[in-house]
């Protein structure tokens, strides 16, 4: 068995993240060699690795076209890439959430605004009966370009909205109060099996839960029914999947999907005893039998 594994990173953060390092330590104890590999590095021979695991490619949204080309090249070159290129390509643009909604998954509603489309922000909110809303790029990571608007501020926000829509497609969603009051679940799965969960809350006065913006994620135990509803999301996703982080809120004892993160999510490995081992086990299965693993 080839013993070389690549953890995919990015130019601005080329080293393996400390959280992923816990998984690397387990793999190294099992005899594997794990290296950090920047996805834009033209010198890397991706097919030579036993497994290529996308981990911290956290700049992909800044050059979506180049990233998509890299994914397709990996697919053409038969790179043992996880998650698979086809699944990641289907997940990059957050319009995929509409597909889940059409499949019967409870999701936060979205209004997609195509690049270059002329749209009155206030009229949009009035038509959808949204008092407050969140605007974000259709392709984004780590709350990049995400901001809040409302009926009261829509007129003043119109210039920003107009400027951004000339550059990229946008999504508008109703403001989710539960994120501030109760928190957002991030539920991690490895090889289709539930591993652990974190409850994320934003900093005071903010609505974004990312740690780099002051948010806090604490280990938690979602009700079994919530885990099962998150698992159903995976059953409808383009698979197979090595890892997934299903993000959502609990509303009236039901799970409401915010995002399915299968490209480069932070997995909160350090938050759960045994998570590093579980992830390492799943990675090894991608090497031993790529077709049979990651159901």
What is the value of pTM for the model shown? 0.91
Three-state helix/strand/coil letters over 185-248: EEEEEECCEEEEEEEEECCCCCCCCCHHHCCEEEEECCCHHHHHHHHHHHHCCCCCCCEEEEEE
To 10 degrees, what angle do helices 275-288 and 18-29 make? 60
Peptide bond into 45 cis (omega under 30): no
pLDDT at 179: 86
Identify the pLDDT of residue 87: 95
The pLDDT assigned to 139 comes to 86
pLDDT of residue 215: 57
> What is the pLDDT, as a whole number, of residue 1?
46
| Per-domain boundaries in the chain | 4-91+282-288, 96-106+178-268, 111-175
Backbone angles phi, psi at 18, to 5 degrees: -55, -35
Model pLDDT, residue 295: 43
What CA–CA distance (Å, rounded) separates 79 from 243? 17
Q: Which CATH number is associated with domain 111-175?
A: 3.30.1490
Question: Tell me: the pLDDT tens digits for 227-266?
Answer: 999 999 999 987 799 999 999 999 988 999 999 999 999 9
Mean pLDDT by 10 residues, the chain (295 residues): 88 96 97 97 96 96 95 97 96 92 94 93 96 90 79 95 92 90 94 95 60 68 95 89 96 93 95 97 88 49
State whether CATH 3.40.50 applies to domain 4-91+282-288: yes
Q: What is the predicted pLDDT for the residue at 211? A: 59
Pick the CATH number of 96-106+178-268 from 3.30.470.20, 3.10.450.40, 3.30.300.180, 3.30.230.10: 3.30.470.20
């Amino acid at each position: 068995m080839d013993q070389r594994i690549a953890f995919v990173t990015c130019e601005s953060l080329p080293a393996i993240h400390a959280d992923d390092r816990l998984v690397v330590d387990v793999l190294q104890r099992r005899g594997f060699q794990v290296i950090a590999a920047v996805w834009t590095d033209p010198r890397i021979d991706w097919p030579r690795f036993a497994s290529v695991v996308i981990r911290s490619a956290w700049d992909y949204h800044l050059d979506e076209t180049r990233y998509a080309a890299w994914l397709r090249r990996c697919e053409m070159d038969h790179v043992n890439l996880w998650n698979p290129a086809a699944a990641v390509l289907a997940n990059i643009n957050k319009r995929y959430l509409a597909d889940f909604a059409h499949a019967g998954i409870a999701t936060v509603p979205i209004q997609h605004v195509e690049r270059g489309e002329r749209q009155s922000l206030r009229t949009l909110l009035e038509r959808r009966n949204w008092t407050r809303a969140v605007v974000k790029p259709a392709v984004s990571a780590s709350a990049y370009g995400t901001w809040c608007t409302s009926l009261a501020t829509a007129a003043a926000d119109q210039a920003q909205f107009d400027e951004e829509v000339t550059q990229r497609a946008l999504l508008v969603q109703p403001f989710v109060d539960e994120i501030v009051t109760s928190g957002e679940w991030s539920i991690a799965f490895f090889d289709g099996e539930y591993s652990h969960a974190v409850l994320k809350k934003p900093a005071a006065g903010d609505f974004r839960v990312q740690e780099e913006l002051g948010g806090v994620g604490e280990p938690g135990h979602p009700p079994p029914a919530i885990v099962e509803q998150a698992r159903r999301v995976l059953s409808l996703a383009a698979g197979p999947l090595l890892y997934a982080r299903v993000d959502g809120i609990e509303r009236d004892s039901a799970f409401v999907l915010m995002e399915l993160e299968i490209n480069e999510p932070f997995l909160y490995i350090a938050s759960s005893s045994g998570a590093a081992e579980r992830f390492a086990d799943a990675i090894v299965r991608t090497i031993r039998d790529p077709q049979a693993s990651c159901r």
